Amino acid sequence: MEFREKVMLKDYTTFKIGGEARYFCEVKNIDELMEAVIFARKGDLPILIIGGGSNMLISDDGFLGLVIKMEIKGIEISETLNSALLAVGSGENWDSLVETSVSKGLYGLENLSGIPGTVGGTPVQNIGAYGVEVGEYIKDVEYFDTNDLKIKSLNGGECEFDYRDSIFKRSKSKKWIITRVTFELKKKAKLKLDYKDISEYFLQKNIKKLTLHAVRKAILEIRSRKFPDLKEVGTAGSFFKNPIVTKKHFLSLTKMYPDLPFYKASYGRVKIPLGWVLEHICGVKGVRINDVASFEKQALVLVNYGNAKSNDVYNYACEIQQQVLAKTGIEVEWEVRYVK
Active-site residue numbers?
164, 238, 335
Strand 138-145 relative to strand 292-294: parallel, antiparallel, unpaired? unpaired
Of the candidate residues 275, 277, 285, 304, the single one contacting ligand NAP (CB under 6 A): 275
Q: Report in angstroms how near the CB of residue 167 gets to ligand NAP at its nearest.
A: 17
* Partners of 244 in the β-ladder: 271
Q: Residue 193 interacts with ligand NAP (CB under 6 A)?
A: no
Binding mask 44-83 for ligand NAP (x = CB under 6 A): ----------------------------------------
CB 126 within 8 A of CB 55: no
SS (H, E, C) the chain: CCCEEEEEHHHHCCCCCCCEEEEEEEECCHHHHHHHHHHHHHCCCCEEEECCCCCEEECCCCEEEEEEEECCCCEEEEECCCEEEEEEECCCEHHHHHHHHHHCCCECCHHHCCCCCEHHHCCCCCCEECCEEHHHHEEEEEEEECCCCEEEEEEHHHHCCECCECHHHCHHHCCEEEEEEEEEEECCCCCCCCCHHHHHHHHHCCCCCCCHHHHHHHHHHHHHHHCCCCCCCEEEEECECCCEECHHHHHHHHHHCCCCCCEECHHHCEECCHHHHHHHHCCCCCCEECCEEECCCCCCEEEECCCCCHHHHHHHHHHHHHHHHHHHCCCCCECCEEEC
Q: Report in angstroms how near the CB of residue 292 gets to ligand NAP at its nearest.
A: 18
Which of these ranges, 74-82, 140-148, 251-259, 270-278, lies near ligand NAP under the rule CB under 6 A?
A: 270-278
Q: Which is nearer to ligand NAP, 3 or 262 (CB)?
A: 262
Of the candidate residues 90, 101, 118, 242, the single one contacting ligand NAP (CB under 6 A): 242
Which of these ranges, 22-30, 190-198, 250-258, 287-295, lies near ligand NAP under the rule CB under 6 A?
A: 190-198
Q: Residue 237 interacts with ligand NAP (CB under 6 A)?
A: yes
Q: Residue 337 interacts with ligand NAP (CB under 6 A)?
A: no
Q: Report in angstroms how near the CB of residue 340 gets to ligand NAP at its nearest.
A: 21
Q: Which of residues 120-179 bind ligand NAP (CB under 6 A)?
A: 127-130, 164
Q: Residue 285 interacts with ligand NAP (CB under 6 A)?
A: no
Q: Residue 259 interacts with ligand NAP (CB under 6 A)?
A: no
Q: Residue 271 interacts with ligand NAP (CB under 6 A)?
A: yes
Q: Which is nearer to ligand NAP, 21 or 50 (CB)?
A: 50
Q: Residue 263 interacts with ligand NAP (CB under 6 A)?
A: yes
Which of these ranges, 5-13, 97-105, 188-196, 305-313, lies near ligand NAP under the rule CB under 6 A?
A: 188-196
Q: Summarize as ranges the residues that interact with ligand NAP (CB under 6 A).
A: 127-130, 164, 194-197, 226, 237-238, 242, 263, 271, 273, 275, 298, 300, 335
